[in-house]
Amino acid sequence: RQGSLHPTAAHHDRLHNGLFIDSFDEESCHSRYQSAMYRGNPGRRPSAYLISKLRRHEALQRRCGPGTAAYSNALEQLKSGKRNASPECAYIVSISYSGLGNRILAAASAFLYAVLTHRVLLVDPSNEMDDLFCEPFPDTTWLLPRGFPMTNYTSFGVDTAESYGNMVRNKVIGSSGVAADASTARLPAFAYVHLHNDATVEDNYFFCDDDQRLLRRIQWLAMRTDSYIVPGLFLVQAFQDELDLMFPERDAVFHHIGRYLFHPNNHVWGLVTRYYDAYLAAAQQRVGIQVRVFGVQPNSPELLEQITSCTQKQKLLPEVLATGAPTTSPASRARSKAVLVTSLKSWYYEKLKSMYWEHAAVTGEAVSVHQPSHEEYQRSGARSHEHKAWAEIYLLSLTDVLVTTGMSTFGYVAQGLGGVRPWVLYKSTNSSVVPDPPCGWDVSMEPCFHKPPSYDCRLKQWAADISKDVPYIQHCDDLSWGLKLV
């Protein structure tokens, strides 16, 4: 395969500096050990402590996961509704809904919470989550098996009586706001953690230490979030020492978790590698441009201009000569750039491609422009649509430079997996005006937590600006009230 792979492929570390282990069957998941050959950016080095935590967590998943006696016992406990005071194993189910980027960030968040609280992570297989990835943990499954007793868990919402927030509000259990009930007799076997964007103040007590002390004693949790809640976990005092040891570089949390957990299955890996080898491998540099189009947004000449002005001002792509201007000597043809556009629409790609065909680049570089698909509308849950979405997120993550439209979990996953700080296209308040500057280099590659808690657990009052108190948490460039790790 030499020649079609990235120039640094010879130096690849197939185990990503110890993030993965060697014991998986290679045939069942080609991407796990091949991905390093396709990555120009080898990425950050995980800490020895993170690696040891992952190995211990893998053992937990194996010991307590589906098919074990511990799992059967825990299911019986859940069916009985009675709390076991000292259960052998505890669980968190990550509910899978919304777009693929959201689902990946939700599962990553639930995983980090699972590691911090010694829970087994089980991923709800809805919306094709069982047909996109390889198993991340050896000799067990991370997929929630059929027959889960809470049969309607996928439809849980803000009003669900078993939600932690509602149980607190209805004084079924104690919490930060109410004096915590020292007696554990009243604690249920199951709680639903509602962290969707309509979460209430009580739901957000999840991010408070007192509440974590209660939640720790509940054997089964099911979590619904469409966001990357990890910056919120950094606000829980009880988790801070562990997080510091696991992630001495706080801007690389999703980078490590994402690379550890999300390996395209063989079908999706075929989509990724065939496309990469055919259209991107030969270029000297790959530039990814993610153009997220929501709903029926019309094609926007202003956004197109913003993309060209951002990429040219920042020297990510060359400027072009006027039609008829004398072109540079053929010697410069040796330099080439491949542009990967991902979008639901093909218009932006068509325009960029035409521009670099009809006009010569001032540098003489050959610029090729490619777009794998244009699905027109979001169709979450449709199999081939999901496969393409995952393949395109992954392809974006293999580019050397990334430009994103911001506020998109699709782009966040790509930048984190790639280990790339993206250039974010600023949103204009007036869609007929191109913002100036058109884009900025993001403060970190971490995803933005779109709906952080607004309650200060320690002071028991509405929070002031958390970003002012915590040096490694800042507001997001693409969403002023969002928070991200830097």
422 forms part of the interface with ligand GDP (CB under 6 A)? no
| 344 binding ligand GDP? (CB under 6 A) | yes
Token pair of 381 as six digits: 């849950």
Which residue's entry shows tokens 């509000």?
169
* 98 is an interface residue for ligand GDP by CB under 6 A: yes
Residue 195 CB, nearest approach to ligand GDP (Å): 16
* Cβ nearer to ligand GDP, comparing 236 with 339: 339
C-alpha 39/C-alpha 314 separation (Å) is 23
Q: Can you tell me which of 217, 385, 421, 427 binds ligand GDP, judged by CB under 6 A?
A: 385
The footprint of ligand GDP on residues 287-316 (CB under 6 A) is 292
CB of 212 to ligand GDP, least distance (A): 27
Least separation in angstroms between residue 387's CB and ligand GDP is: 9
Please, which residue, 210 or 392, has the CB nearer to ligand GDP?
Answer: 392
Is there binding between residue 109 and ligand GDP (CB under 6 A)?
no
Q: Is residue 397 near ligand GDP by the rule CB under 6 A?
A: no
Q: Is 165 strand, coil or helix?
A: helix
> Out of 94, 96, 160, 378, which residue is the one contacting ligand GDP (CB under 6 A)?
378
Q: Is the dihedral of CA 94, 249, 19, 420 positive or negative?
A: positive
Q: Which residue has the tokens 């657990």?
A: 457
| Min separation Cβ 385 and ligand GDP, Å | 6
- Residue of 61, 175, 342, 399 that binds ligand GDP (CB under 6 A): 342
Give the binding range for ligand GDP (CB under 6 A) out of 67-75, 279-287, 404-412, 465-473: 404-412
C-beta of 132: minimal distance to ligand GDP in Å?
Answer: 11
CA angle 340, 344, 345 (to 5 degrees): 85
Please return the burial class of 48, using the count of CB atoms within 10 Å of its CB with bins 0-12, 13-18 and 19+.
Answer: exposed
Write the CB contacts of 228 (distance below 8 Å, at least 6 apart in sequence): 105, 108, 109, 254, 409, 412, 446, 447, 448, 449, 450
**In 3-state terms, the chain is what percent helix, strand and coil (to 5)?**
40, 15, 50
DSSP class of 180 = -
Residue numbers at the binding site for ligand GDP (CB under 6 A)? 98-102, 292, 342-344, 373, 375, 378, 380, 385, 388-389, 392, 408-410
